[in-house]
Amino acid sequence: MKKLTYRLTSLAAAFLLVGAASSTTASAQTYVSGFVGVPAGGDSVERQPTYGGSFGTLGGGLGFELDLGYTPDFFDTEDISGVGTNLTTIMGNLMIAPGRGSAFRPYLTVGGGLIRSDVSGLDDVFDDLSTNDFGINAGGGIFVFLNDNVAIRGDARYFRSLTDEDDNDFFDVDLGDFNFWRISAGVALAF
C-alpha cells in the first residue's frame, strides 16, 4: 500500500507541475476563490456546509486550479455522542474555460488528488479510522464577472475515491465505492 501511495503521490505531483506549466502564459488570468457549498448524493448523508477555496490560472481556453474543500460532520453520527467525522479534499484540476474577456466564463474541470476522511472520538474503541485515499473529481461551473477583478462563481463537482484491489507491485487502480457531489457558490478575485 505504501508503494501505491508513493506512486499516486508522484503521479499527482507530475500532474500539478504539467498543469501549472501549461497555463502560465503572458495572457493568463490568476484568481483566488472562496466558496461555501453542500455535499449531495452518493455517500453524503448529512447536509453540513462545505467550506473551501481555490487558487488557479486561466489562459485563453485552458487553465489549472488547486481546490481545497473541508466538510465538518460529513458522515451521519447523530446516534454516537462525541464523534466527529470530517472530510477534506485537495485536488489539482485542469480546466477548459472559453470566453476570456467575457462577463460569463463557463468551465469544465477534471483532476485528481487527496480525499481524507477523519473520524475522531473513538480512540478507546478503534486505533485509527482516518484514511487518506487518492481520488478524482470532474464537474463544471461558471464565473460571472462583475468587473475585471471580481466574479461570482457557481460550481458542481463529482468526487470519487480510487482503490488498489491487489496488493502487488502493479499500478492497477480501480474506482472505489466512496463518492459524492459538491454544489458550491462563492466569490473569485482575479488579478
Least confident of 120-134, 135-149, 171-185: 120-134
- Residue 138 has a pLDDT of 98
- Residue 54 has a pLDDT of 98
Does 70 or 29 have the greater pLDDT score? 70
160 close to 175: Cβ distance less than 8 angstroms: yes
27 close to 46: Cβ distance less than 8 angstroms: no
- Residue 168 has a pLDDT of 64
- Which structural domain, as residue segments, surrounds residue 174? 2-190
Instruction: pLDDT band for 113, please (50, 70, 90 cuts).
Output: very high
Q: Would you say residue 25 has pLDDT above 50?
A: no
Mean pLDDT of the chain: 81
74 close to 46: Cβ distance less than 8 angstroms: yes
Least confident of 31-35, 72-76, 184-188: 72-76
Cα 67 to chain centroid, rounded: 5
- Residue 76 has a pLDDT of 60
How many domains in the chain?
1
77: domain CATH number is 2.40.160.20
Q: Would you say residue 119 has pLDDT above 70?
A: yes
Instruction: Summarize the confidence of residues 176-182 as an average pLDDT.
Output: 91
132 close to 125: Cβ distance less than 8 angstroms: no
> Among 9-18, 107-116, 122-131, which range has the highest average pLDDT?
107-116
Collect all residues with Cβ–Cβ distance below 8 Å to 66 and sequence separation of at least 6: 16, 54, 55, 56, 90, 91, 92, 93
Predicted model pTM: 0.78
- Residue 14 has a pLDDT of 54
Instruction: Summarize the confidence of residues 11-38 as an average pLDDT.
Output: 67
